[in-house]
Structure 1
């Protein structure tokens, strides 16, 4: 059995998360610029954060909020994404999803929706 780390990850998943952090998609890079360094109302976010077998696009630890950006590949993965969301919710996370188009063309609206989730108890 492989050594399990905090959050149930493996060294393989953690290495994959590190690789993804330096190869963000354009939409991820745009949203990360708006979230990093506590720019959104003082909330800390992590980028490409490993949890169990998953890598979360963005994660706010104080609210257990997961923000996922779905590109074209997700059109064919809706069942997988739904199962993944359900598993994360069982673990106590809240998940919200945005399309690449929403982030690239309506960033202010995306940030407002994230703000609303951050304020939810």
Structure 2
């Protein structure tokens, strides 16, 4: 799947089964969110229960201040703190912004 992610709303938007479908959906769906006009994407992500990530990517995600702040802010919106929507697409976003240029061809795997 492909989607975009609104960083202000901590919410995915603009889903599609490919980049063109997701880009079209982004133009329609994302601006409906209060901060969705500046959504990042579209980018591919793995949906479901089975993900495979390299050690370097996991290590970067675990140690990234950006990821920590993102998780903290997304979770702090609810009591008790929890992440309500888009955890799988957020991991796709983290892989998308990770500093590993060789990751993109593997991540885009189609």
Tell me whether the two structures share a fold, i.e. TM-score over 0.5: no
Greater share of strand: 1
* TM-score, normalised with respect to structure 1: 0.29
Give the TM-score, by structure 2 length.
0.31
